[in-house]
Amino acid sequence: MSQSDMALMAHLLRRAGFGARRDELERYLAQGYEATVEELLHPEQAPAALDDEDLIRRYHVDENSLMLIDSCQTYWLYRMINTRRPLEEKMALFWHGVFATGYTKLNHPKQILGQIAMFRRYGLGSFHTLLVEVSKDPAMIFWLDNKDSHKEAINENYGRELLELFSMGVGNYTENDVRQCSRAFTGWTIRDASLHTARVARDSVWPYGRLDWQFEYRDDDHDAAEKAFLGHAGPFNGVEIIDIICRQPATARFIARHLYNFFVADEPQVPAWQTVPPHDPEAIQTLMDAFIAHEYDIRAVMRVLFNADFFKNAQFAKVKSPAEMVVGTARLAGGHHFPDVDDITLALETGYMGQQLLDPPSVEGWHTGSEWINSATLMSRVNFASRQLADVNKPGVRAIIQRVRAQGTRLAPGSVVDICLDVMGPLTVEARTRQQLVDHLAAAGDVDFETNGDSVSAAERIRELLQLVVATREYQLA
Amino acid sequence: MATLTHDLYRYSHTIGFYAQNGRGFNNPVDVALGRDGVLYVLNRAGSDVELRMLYKRVTMCTLDEDYLGEFSSGGTEDGQLMWPATITIDAEGNVYISDEALHRISIFDAQGRFLGKWGVRGSGVGMFDRPAGLVFDQDQHLLVVDGLNNRIQRYTKDGRFLGEWGKGGHGPGELNLPWGIAVDRAGAVYVADWRNDRIQKFDAQGGFLASYGISGRGDGEFSRPSGVVVDGEGNIYVADWGNERVQVLSPDGGFLATYRGESGLSKWGESYFIANQDELEERRKANLEPELSLSPLDELREESASIEKFFWGPISVKVDDQGRLYVVESCRHRIQVYRKAPGSA
């Protein structure tokens, strides 16, 4: 097992999950890279995502009713931290960014959480199936006004975004295609839309909390007449429109660029895609080919992606999103395994860093990469990570200290820095940064676990070093 | 879905309404039946952000929904609550509340004035790790379900430790994250053995007597039972929390009845709609009991989230000496009240 093997496995788990502790990485390394990719690609073969989800609902009573957005955010973050199906949860986060649906308009966070659950079920399957499910998703129907699109009065919001932001991208269809697409989705609505619209309008949670919504297909409100869409003609319904969309090379390209931007390396944002070519056109072509060859099967595309050299060579080529920062650091530090009062801080901190889960800023989702970073969000990121590692009794912190101690009872500052950087990633920092870390540690001499009963002091010094490491530029990268 | 197997109880009315403070409840987790018909409703009220600390409180009201006032709030100071779990009342009318975040028991008088507290986190004598169910035994000693320590502790009213029983496990007499607790007229103790999906019966000294139920959805089976109470005839009522229902067992543990919930509008709810006629009109036009197509994995919970009359988060059950059954629903911010059916035992 080489250092580069460990680094590559850590890279895979940062991208296909939310990072892995050293003991987890060692297990993955023992089975090998490709076998690990296969394990990640098949969450349905893994144990249930959580050991006992009822625990959350028992202790966080608000995460049983899921009436408030921060309760729903905390529930999801808890899942991300503790899931035994890391890629399933990461795909849900990915699709949440693509099919961005926001609380601000819906006033019903549990319903968006229901959409996230749908992403878990279908996120690694056929993109065709996923688009059908998205089109039937009550939160999406409300979000993009398809409940207001009728046979005799078309609302084009969903039809437009299906083409512009969910499949093909601007420049690959006409205004008439938008209209025909919208006609095909008339009748795709939610049951008792009028009641739910009235409740949402006043954010009514009365008398007894929220009521879930259900998809309803109303044949009597569906425009079944002939339509001309992307060169095809017929009395299309929504599913047939999705058939045509999936066959478009533009769809393969659009999804390939999204997957590359989320899982491989930061790219220009979606609005620029019409004019700015991808950084790595060959990689995009590879993903497009897989999408088409495997009939839109996302699992097959992800298999190609994770096994490609362009992925393996893209270590630390992305800025961590706030969710990745919060969940990855919480996993590194340990804790948040059993429901506790301070779990809510996870949701608050993710928001402070610029990512209100379940409430993206627009239908376009979040702008990612360097746009995550500004002076305020950087401060939030560093402070959060530093606080997470501030306790030597946290299991993750304790494990790192034990790994340092296993290398000797008296260690030079340079060795301690290198061991910590290794266990925390492995993380490679600039030589200047490493030297600053060494200098800081060296101010109090070697790290001595035994002399003069100094082990407490040694642990505290290592804890302080870890807090400095998470403040480095390199720790901001995935 | 059938809501009743035996005609033991009939739905009477609902008390409740979602409210951040004042008249109404916020994630209620328990109710205590006080003197002079006063109900003390314990509101746990997440999420745990500063903004919502005032939502955590005890609401005082009557069976007929007269609002009488409230006391306490969220926080860590004396007299405050963070994760209040259960509430009970002693013979003098004083109110005892367990707190799973602060690992202590707080005492208030009948008007809500703070009287005292005891308990710190730990597993030693006089310590708690997420104390949950509370009940007074026949000697007016307080039994405390010490959740994560998987034991029952007994105290005097002022917090002097008297004894304990129980340990973690799934064998007879062993416990796994126990929650609710009750005492019958003969002094026997019943514990909702939450993670073992059963009710266990002990003698007054903690000796194991019986175990009722196994994991499942069938009659007499449980999924994470949270609350238990025993009426004067010895019938056992269980808040079958994970199955979103209430079950009634005979004194020997035999299955008698199951209830899924049938709430109508409370008085407080009706007054809301007087001021919001347009929303009421939409409700009248809507189908509030639609046919649903749900995954078997979570169908009961999702059904409860969609159909308002069903129990959602039935967390605690209580009975009074007038033959009424009270079911507290944490997710619907209300209490459904049932009355013994005419002619039932």
Rounded CA-CA distance A216/B148 in Å is 45
| C-beta separation of A464 from A400 below 8 A | no
The three-point CA angle B47-B196-A57 to 5° equals: 15
**Which domain covers residue A202, as residue numbers?**
6-312
Domain end residue (candidates: A312, A332, A347):
A312
Smallest Cβ–Cβ distance between B16 and the set A74, A205, A208 belongs to A208
Helix, strand or coil, per DSSP, at residue B140: coil
| C-beta separation of A425 from A417 below 8 A | no
Bridge partners, residue B239, by sequence: B227, B246
Distances in whole angstroms, Cα of residue B311 to Cα of each of A236, A260, B241, B302, B329: 42, 46, 9, 11, 6
Smallest Cβ–Cβ distance between A70 and the set B44, B45, B49 belongs to B49
Q: Are residues A188 and A299 in the same domain?
A: yes
ipTM for this model: 0.97
pTM, 2 dp = 0.97
Q: Do strands B127-128 and B9-16 pair parallel, antiparallel, or not at all (unpaired)?
A: unpaired
Is residue A456 exposed (0-12), middle (13-18) or buried (19+ Cβ within 10 Å)?
Answer: exposed
Q: Are residues A304 and A423 in the same domain?
A: no
CA closest to B24 among chain A residues: A207
Q: Verify whether the Cβ–Cβ distance A61 to B242 is below 8 Å.
A: no
The one-letter amino acid code at B225 reads: P
Tens digit of pLDDT for each residue in A387-434?
999 999 999 999 999 999 999 999 999 999 999 999 999 999 999 999
The Cα diameter of chain B in Å comes to 59
| Radius of gyration of the CA atoms of chain B, in A | 19
Question: Is A323 a member of any domain?
Answer: no
Rounded CA-CA distance B229/B223 in Å is 17
DSSP string, A57-90: HHH-THHHH--SHHHHHHHHHHHHHH-S-HHHHH
Tens digit of pLDDT for each residue in A90-149?
999 999 999 999 999 999 999 999 999 999 999 999 999 999 999 999 999 999 999 999
Can you read off the two tokens belonging to residue A410? 């008296």
Rounded CA-CA distance A23/A94 in Å is 26
| C-beta separation of A469 from A437 below 8 A | yes
Select the residue from B20, B23, B48 to test the A interface by mutation, using most A Cβ atoms within 10 A: B48
Q: b or e along A80-117 (b: 16 or more beta carbons within 10 Å of the residue's beta carbon)?
A: bbbbebbbbbbbbbbbbbbbbbbbeebbbbbbbbbbbb
Question: Is A330 a member of any domain?
Answer: no
Q: Are residues A301 and A402 in the same domain?
A: no
Q: Per the structure, how many domains does chain A have?
A: 2
Question: Is A425 a member of any domain?
Answer: yes
Rounded CA-CA distance A401/A419 in Å is 10
Q: Are residues A271 and A405 in the same domain?
A: no
Tell me which residues of chain A have a C-beta less than 8 Å from any C-beta of chain B: 52, 54, 57-65, 67-68, 70-71, 74, 110, 191-192, 194-195, 198-199, 202, 204-212, 214, 341-344, 347-348
| C-beta separation of B289 from B307 below 8 A | yes
Amino acid B6: pLDDT: 57
Tens digit of pLDDT for each residue in B203-232?
999 999 999 999 999 999 999 999 999 999
Tens digit of pLDDT for each residue in A11-31?
999 999 999 999 999 999 999
Q: Do strands B95-99 and B104-108 pair parallel, antiparallel, or not at all (unpaired)?
A: antiparallel
Rounded CA-CA distance A107/A105 in Å is 6
The proportion of chain A whose per-residue pLDDT surpasses 90, expressed as a percent, equals 97
Residues of chain B with confidence (pLDDT) below 50: 1-5
Helix, strand or coil, per DSSP, at residue B87: strand
Select the residue from A52, A58, A113, A337 to test the B interface by mutation, using most B Cβ atoms within 10 A: A58
CA closest to A70 among chain B residues: B47
Rounded CA-CA distance A296/B148 in Å is 48
Distances in whole angstroms, Cα of residue A7 to Cα of each of A425, A428, B122: 7, 10, 41
Tens digit of pLDDT for each residue in A437-478?
999 999 999 999 987 666 779 999 999 999 999 999 999 999
Smallest Cβ–Cβ distance between A341 and the set B101, B242, B272 belongs to B101
Domain end residue (candidates: A291, A312, A333):
A312
Neighbours of B294 (CB within 10 A): 15
CA closest to A192 among chain B residues: B286
Question: Is A333 a member of any domain?
Answer: no
| C-beta separation of B189 from B202 below 8 A | yes
From chain B, the residues in CB contact with A194 under 8 A are 282, 285-286
Amino acid B3: pLDDT: 46
Neighbours of A126 (CB within 10 A): 17
Q: Mean pLDDT score of chain A, rounded to an integer?
A: 97
Q: Verify whether the Cβ–Cβ distance B279 to A204 is below 8 Å.
A: yes
- pLDDT above 90: residue A5: yes
- pLDDT above 90: residue A368: yes
Long-range contacts of B210-219 (CB under 8 A, 24+ apart): B210/B253, B211/B172, B212/B236, B212/B249, B212/B253, B213/B238, B213/B253, B217/B243, B217/B300, B219/B5, B219/B247, B219/B255, B219/B258
CA closest to B46 among chain A residues: A62
The one-letter amino acid code at A203 reads: D
Bridge partners, residue B153, by sequence: B144, B164
Amino acid B194: pLDDT: 98
CA closest to B29 among chain A residues: A61
Select the residue from B47, B50, B329 to test the A interface by mutation, using most A Cβ atoms within 10 A: B47
Q: b or e along B176-207 (b: 16 or more beta carbons within 10 Å of the residue's beta carbon)?
A: ebbbbbbbbeeebbbbbbbbbbbbbbbebebe
Select the residue from A61, A113, A115, A121 to test the B interface by mutation, using most B Cβ atoms within 10 A: A61
Q: Are residues A151 and A243 in the same domain?
A: yes
Helix, strand or coil, per DSSP, at residue B337: strand
Q: Are residues A130 and A31 in the same domain?
A: yes
From chain B, the residues in CB contact with A218 under 8 A are none
Work out the minimum CA distance from B93 to partner chain A, whole angstroms: 28
DSSP string, A287-307: HHHHHHHTTTBHHHHHHHHHH
Nearest in space to A163 (alpha carbons), one of A141, A145, A179: A179
| C-beta separation of B79 from B72 below 8 A | yes
Crossing angle, helix A22-31 and helix A3-16, to 10 degrees? 110
Select the residue from A133, A208, A340, A357 to test the B interface by mutation, using most B Cβ atoms within 10 A: A208
Nearest in space to A146 (alpha carbons), one of A133, A159, A134: A159
Q: Verify whether the Cβ–Cβ distance A208 to B17 is below 8 Å.
A: yes
Work out the minimum CA distance from A207 to partner chain B, whole angstroms: 5
Question: Is A135 a member of any domain?
Answer: yes
Q: Do strands B127-128 and B120-121 pair parallel, antiparallel, or not at all (unpaired)?
A: parallel
Can you read off the two tokens belonging to residue A393? 């009794």
Smallest Cβ–Cβ distance between B47 and the set A59, A195, A344 belongs to A344
Domain end residue (candidates: A289, A312, A335):
A312
From chain B, the residues in CB contact with A110 under 8 A are 305
Query: Between A and B, how many residue pairs show a Cβ–Cβ distance under 8 A?
Result: 123
Nearest in space to A72 (alpha carbons), one of A396, A357, A431: A357
Question: Is A18 a member of any domain?
Answer: yes
- Which residues, at least 6 apart from A127, have a Cβ–Cβ distance to it below 8 Å? A246, A251, A255, A291, A296, A297, A298
Bridge partners, residue B183, by sequence: B189
Smallest Cβ–Cβ distance between A62 and the set B27, B278, B305 belongs to B27
- pLDDT above 50: residue A245: yes
Q: Verify whether the Cβ–Cβ distance B333 to A209 is below 8 Å.
A: yes
Rounded CA-CA distance A155/A153 in Å is 7
Rounded CA-CA distance A85/A394 in Å is 23
> Running DSSP on this structure, what letter comes out for residue A150?
B
Can you read off the two tokens belonging to residue B261? 């919930």
* Residue count of chain B: 345
**Cis status, amide bond into B296, omega within 30 of 0:** no
From chain A, the residues in CB contact with B226 under 8 A are 58
Bridge partners, residue B117, by sequence: B106
* Sign of the C-alpha dihedral computed for residues B292, B297, B298 and B300 taken in this order: positive
The one-letter amino acid code at B22 reads: G
Helix, strand or coil, per DSSP, at residue A379: helix
DSSP string, B49-82: SGGGGGG-EEEEEETT--EEEEE--BSSSTT-BS
Q: Verify whether the Cβ–Cβ distance B282 to A214 is below 8 Å.
A: no
Question: Is A224 a member of any domain?
Answer: yes
Question: Is A41 a member of any domain?
Answer: yes
CA closest to A205 among chain B residues: B18
- pLDDT above 60: residue A250: yes
Amino acid B315: pLDDT: 98
